[in-house]
């Protein structure tokens, strides 16, 4: 609203929408600003075209906020016994899920019933889509809702005339009863990206964060040892699992709910505008229509000519190139330590605070790289140690551990536990936690359930479990055993050992809601 006011567009926009005879599609904030106002950022006036105010989700229901992920729609009945035919906007959607990412929502009422086309359910019903005349709006992101979302955009563009000539009928979604309803648990494909020794950007994969091929014959954890022979990677090479954009497009086609790029080597010698990851994002966002997260190097940067860029400017470049979320690793650890040192208070200067204020909490992910520290007695450390339940023991038979946060890709430890980091980063404005685990990374032995449970029980924002997935059952297991909202994998997808559809099949069998692409 501030930007529209600054550009003197408010009156023109209000008149355009009020006329109702020219096409308008508002997405996310574009739906919210049509209402009377919002309580976000201390209260903002809207265009006042639709009765009702936008309010933060009700936290008392104990659900993670922001509401991030794939949820169902219910067509509005408009006061009748059953819903009327869907408006063009939703005419092709069927009952496929769509992607939401927001902390505030409008609620349906008698006063706005003529506008509301569909609702969704999360801590109560909220407005998911509006339609009246040629004015339409969605709280969800059709441009990030895969094939279902592209059908929503087609419906809007074709308008009341219905599908254009040669339009492909949307695939019939599986019958509603065949799958669990409500917000789906997300399956995320992760691409660790770095330059190889020849300077090409490749997707690599660490084995407990070591991305170089082991000497041939020495298999490490889940990773494959370097096969010797012509054309095969030599030991010591950076493991090369493919090209970033091609792999991202493959995972999108296979039904990944999100794609995350982690840029694991900072490109120190490139000016901000030329960062290779920006080109990767621009290319990926032309082919991948689910949310893209980018991490690695989201911090203040200095160009070779000495020009300095704040973390917010760096993040803005990534958002303009197609990222929906940025992920902050090392800087988040330092910001959390400073938060505790200040007596659990922020100073507004951290990358988390500044990016979250400008783009919303839902755009800021904090990536944690923790490793187990074993203790015989939890009273021997000020860190929050827990008794492990996975049967593992420390080198001295210890049964308790805490998870030490690291920076610089696991190279340096800090005196801070993963739970303490997550609590501080939530307070600083992060919208999601990407919870890696150095001990499990690349092992294929399953997620560290004790770690995921400890962190997801400690914060009210969504937690993504990461590291260690070896088979489809590991996903169903972590969703059943912890409160995490998503689970991420890399190696098993890159090595084509497990397909994303197999993972979702295991989730459906376990009664865990998954998004059907
Ligand atoms: O510190 O803000 O520049 O961010 C650096 C980012 O790069 C962090 O998100 C950090 O996790 C990541 N990173 C740094 N070094 C490595 C490395 O591997 N040497 N990748 C690295 C961490 C974690 C996941 C991995 C999962 C799943 N990798 O990307 O894919 O563990 O793996 P699996 O399914 O194969 O087990 P900053």
pLDDT (tens digit, 9 = 90+) per residue, 379-402?
999 999 999 999 999 999 999 999
DSSP alpha helix (H) spans, 75-123: none
Question: What is the average per-residue pLDDT within 438-454?
Answer: 97
Q: In the annotation, is 474 catalytic? A: no
pLDDT at 32 over 50: yes
Predicted local confidence at residue 508, as pLDDT: 93
Cβ within 8 Å of residue 298, ≥6 positions away = 311, 314, 315, 318, 326, 327, 328, 329, 331, 351, 355
pLDDT at 219 over 50: no
Question: What is the average per-residue pLDDT within 358-372?
Answer: 96
Centre of ligand 1 to C-alpha 264, Å, is 7
**Residue 225's pLDDT band (boundaries 50, 70, 90)?**
very low
Ligand 1, residues 244, 369, 472, 478: which to mutate, most atoms within 8 A of Cβ?
369
Level-2 CATH architecture, domain 186-205+241-509:
Alpha-Beta Barrel (3.20)
Location of each CATH 3.40.50.880 domain in the chain: 2-163
Predicted local confidence at residue 276, as pLDDT: 84
Element (H, E) at 475: helix 472-481
Centre of ligand 1 to C-alpha 479, Å, is 21
Centre of ligand 1 to C-alpha 409, Å, is 7
Cβ of 448 below 6 Å from ligand 1: no
Query: What's the gap between Cα 272 and its chain centre?
Result: 24
Predicted local confidence at residue 209, as pLDDT: 72
CA neighbor of 220 nearest in space, from 445, 410, 393: 445
Residue of 258, 369, 399, 420 marked active site: 369
Q: In the annotation, is 28 catalytic? A: yes
**Residue 159's pLDDT band (boundaries 50, 70, 90)?**
confident
**Residue 178's pLDDT band (boundaries 50, 70, 90)?**
low
- Which residue minimizes the CA distance to atom 10 of ligand 1? 409
Predicted local confidence at residue 517, as pLDDT: 79
- Which residue minimizes the CA distance to atom 31 of ligand 1? 467
Predicted local confidence at residue 272, as pLDDT: 83
Predicted local confidence at residue 208, as pLDDT: 74
Centre of ligand 1 to C-alpha 209, Å, is 7
Predicted local confidence at residue 179, as pLDDT: 67
pLDDT at 166 over 90: no
**Residue 80's pLDDT band (boundaries 50, 70, 90)?**
confident
Percentage of the chain lying above the pLDDT 90 cut: 77
User: What's the token pair of residue 448?
Assistant: 């560290």
Ligand 1, residues 193, 204, 206, 474: which to mutate, most atoms within 8 A of Cβ?
206
**Residue 267's pLDDT band (boundaries 50, 70, 90)?**
low
Mean pLDDT of the chain: 90
Question: What is the average per-residue pLDDT within 35-57?
Answer: 96
Predicted local confidence at residue 470, as pLDDT: 98
Q: Which atom of ligand 1 is nearest to the CA of 494?
A: 35
Predicted local confidence at residue 180, as pLDDT: 75
CB distance 333 to 407 below 8 Å: yes
CA neighbor of 147 nearest in space, from 244, 26, 245, 256: 256
Question: What is the average per-residue pLDDT within 43-58?
Answer: 96
Q: In the annotation, is 143 catalytic? A: yes
Predicted local confidence at residue 230, as pLDDT: 55
pLDDT at 422 over 80: yes
pLDDT at 480 over 80: yes
**Residue 491's pLDDT band (boundaries 50, 70, 90)?**
very high
Predicted local confidence at residue 228, as pLDDT: 44
- Which residue minimizes the CA distance to atom 17 of ligand 1? 209
Provide φ and ψ at 252, rounded to 5°: -60, -45
pLDDT at 174 over 90: no
Centre of ligand 1 to C-alpha 61, Å, is 33
Residue of 151, 192, 353, 426 marked active site: 192
Question: What is the average per-residue pLDDT within 70-92?
Answer: 91
Q: Which atom of ligand 1 is nearest to the CA of 434?
A: 9
Question: What is the average per-residue pLDDT within 428-452?
Answer: 97
Q: Which atom of ligand 1 is nearest to the CA of 437?
A: 31
pLDDT at 49 over 80: yes
Q: Which atom of ligand 1 is nearest to the CA of 210?
A: 19
- Which residue minimizes the CA distance to atom 8 of ligand 1? 329
In a 3-state reduction of DSSP, which class is residue 474? helix
Cβ of 297 below 6 Å from ligand 1: yes
Please, what is the angle between helix 449-458 and helix 472-481, to 10°?
A: 40
Question: What is the average per-residue pLDDT within 416-425?
Answer: 98
Predicted local confidence at residue 173, as pLDDT: 47
Stronger pLDDT, 271 or 55, i.e. the higher one? 55
Location of each CATH 3.20.20.70 domain in the chain: 186-205+241-509
CA distance 296 to 298: 6
Cβ within 8 Å of residue 45, ≥6 positions away = 1, 36, 37
Q: Which atom of ligand 1 is nearest to the CA of 297?
A: 3
Question: What is the average per-residue pLDDT within 199-223?
Answer: 67
Cβ of 190 below 6 Å from ligand 1: yes
Question: What is the average per-residue pLDDT within 306-323?
Answer: 95
Q: If you search the block for the tokens 């492909």, which residue do you land on? A: 168
In a 3-state reduction of DSSP, which class is residue 172? coil
Question: What is the average per-residue pLDDT within 115-138?
Answer: 96
pLDDT at 255 over 50: yes
Predicted local confidence at residue 429, as pLDDT: 97
Cβ of 367 below 6 Å from ligand 1: yes
Distances, alpha carbon 375 to alpha carbons 378, 379, 400, in Å: 6, 9, 5
- Domain 2-163: top CATH class: alpha beta
Centre of ligand 1 to C-alpha 494, Å, is 15
Distances, alpha carbon 307 to alpha carbons 266, 271, 304, in Å: 17, 9, 7
């Amino acid at each position: 609203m501030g930007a529209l006011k600054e550009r003197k567009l408010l009156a023109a926009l209000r008149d355009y929408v009020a006329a109702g005879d020219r096409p308008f599609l508002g997405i996310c904030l574009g739906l919210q600003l049509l209402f009377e106002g919002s309580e976000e950022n201390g209260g903002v006036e809207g265009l006042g075209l639709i009765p009702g105010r936008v309010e933060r989700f009700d936290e008392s229901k104990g659900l993670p906020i922001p509401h991030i992920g794939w949820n169902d729609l219910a067509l509005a009945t408009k006061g009748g016994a059953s819903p009327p035919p869907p408006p063009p906007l939703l005419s092709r959607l069927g009952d496929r899920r769509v992607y939401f990412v927001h902390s505030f929502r409008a609620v349906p009422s008698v006063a706005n019933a003529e506008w509301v086309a569909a609702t969704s359910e999360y801590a109560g019903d909220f407005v998911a889509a509006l339609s009246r005349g040629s004015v339409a709006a969605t709280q969800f992101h059709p441009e990030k809702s895969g094939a279902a979302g592209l059908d929503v955009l087609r419906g809007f563009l074709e308008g009341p005339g219905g599908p254009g000539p040669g339009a492909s009928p949307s695939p019939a979604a599986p019958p509603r009863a065949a799958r669990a309803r409500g917000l789906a648990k997300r399956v995320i494909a992760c691409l660790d990206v770095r330059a190889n020794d020849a300077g090409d950007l490749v997707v690599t994969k660490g084995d407990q964060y070591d991305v170089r091929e082991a000497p041939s014959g020495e298999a490490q954890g889940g990773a494959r040892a370097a096969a010797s022979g012509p054309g095969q990677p030599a030991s010591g090479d950076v493991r090369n699992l493919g090209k970033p954009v091609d792999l991202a497009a493959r995972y999108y086609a296979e039904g990944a709910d999100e794609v995350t790029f982690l840029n694991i080597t900072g490109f120190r010698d490139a000016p901000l505008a030329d960062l290779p990851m920006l080109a990767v994002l621009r290319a990926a966002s032309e082919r991948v229509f689910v949310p893209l997260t980018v991490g690695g190097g989201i911090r203040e940067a200095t160009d070779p000519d000495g020009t300095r860029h704040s973390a917010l400017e760096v993040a803005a470049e990534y958002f303009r190139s197609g990222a929906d979320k940025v992920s902050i690793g090392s800087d988040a650890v330092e910001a959390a330590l400073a938060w505790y040192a200040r007596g659990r208070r922020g100073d507004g200067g951290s990358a988390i605070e500044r990016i979250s204020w400008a783009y919303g909490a839902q755009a800021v992910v904090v990536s944690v790289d923790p490793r187990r520290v074993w203790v015989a007695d939890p009273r021997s450390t000020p860190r929050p140690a827990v008794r492990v339940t996975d049967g593992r023991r420390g080198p001295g038979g210890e049964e308790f551990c805490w998870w030490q946060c690291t920076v610089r890709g696991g190279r340096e430890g800090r005196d801070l536990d993963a739970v303490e980091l997550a609590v501080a980063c939530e307070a600083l404005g992060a919208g999601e936690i990407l919870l890696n685990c150095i001990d499990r990374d690349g092992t294929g032995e399953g997620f560290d359930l004790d770690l995921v449970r400890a962190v997801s029980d400690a914060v009210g924002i969504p937690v993504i479990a990461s590291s260690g997935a070896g088979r489809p059952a590991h996903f169903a297991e972590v969703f059943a055993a912890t409160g995490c909202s998503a689970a991420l994998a890399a190696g098993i997808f890159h090595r084509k050992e497990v397909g994303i559809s197999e993972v979702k099949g295991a989730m459906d069998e376990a009664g865990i809601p998954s998004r059907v692409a």
